[in-house]
Structure 1
Amino acid sequence: MSFPSQAEEQALHERVLKKNESLASQDVFRVFMAPITRVLCRNRRKTKEEAHDAVCDVLMEYLENPERYLAHKSKLSSYLTRNAEMQVRDMYRSQEARQRREREFGEAIELRATAPNRSLEIIVEARHLVGQLEQAIQEQDRAALGLILQGERSTDALAKAMNLPQLSEKELRREVKRNRDRLMKTLGRIGKEE
């Protein structure tokens, strides 16, 4: 099947613009699906399924917004074919980007199961470290340490956890930093002991 003449394309476009003619969309698919798919398969060396998907997307977009086509610039078949080629190119780039992301992610993070005896060792070490932390850190500092280890950086939240009195903003920041540094040094000492 070949493309229709320019007069036939223009008549079909006028029918689509009316939006109340129910068979116009069916005719658009009947007239343009096969020729554009054939062009894409030949020019882009794509599979028939990929070309078919791209043409479907382009024809649906055209039927939703037929006013985007400007008849004085090109033939309708040229407009739709060009859009389908761009759609195929976008699909290809998207697929390549997804494969590259998956490959890079797979190289960066290797998922391995921990050996059963190693996981038991980790549990024992963690319990030992928690015991040392409980001995080295006072009860009132545990809440602040928990927030610090969770990545909390808000001066107000840390001041509240450290039970600091109402101070000016500058003094409060200085006290939070002093207490935070003290807690981090304590953690560092415990880590060095191990």
Structure 2
Amino acid sequence: MNEAHRLCGSDQWRQMIRDVILPWAMGDHRLGDDVLEVGPGYGATTDVLCTEVARLTAVEIDPDLAAMLIDRFADQPSVQIVNGDAAALDYPDGRFTGAACFTMLHHVEPSQRQDRLFAEIARVLRPGAVLVASDSLASEPLQQMHDGDTYNPVDPQTLPGRLEAAGFTDVEVQTNEFGWSAVAHRA
């Protein structure tokens, strides 16, 4: 991620995740007690989720961000930070009770890799477990913010078919003027 993404580690963004984005995306759905977070980045969502669930495993592909999070959560035994590729997870089938993926999918390209990520999340979820995801809508200002960085926004209209192809059912997608959220259950 480029330097513009430091905002994603700010207290302001953490409050936005806690007070607006997570409640809007989650609705009445619960992730269970053994949750996978994909792409924690600077950890704003991790900070919120770790207070809501019994055990949280956050997989971050960027080694510098993963190292920062490992240090930051070192005194929290209920949080495990892993430097790895969530499109190739080293966990058994059906390990997790829920999964979360917030404001990171636009950093995954090409779209086929996003689909591999969805399928891998489905693989490690227990049957009936929920995936909650959200991201921003494509826009010129966000594209400019990603200058020199990956920017591959997800078209929310394609999500139901893509998530169903990955092994999810009961896909619900909602949008507002800023972004989209999706809730899907492992078949």
Structure having the higher helix fraction is: 1
Give TM-score scaled by structure 1 length. 0.20
Structure having the higher strand fraction is: 2
Q: For the pair shown, which has the larger CA radius of gyration, 1 or 2? A: 1
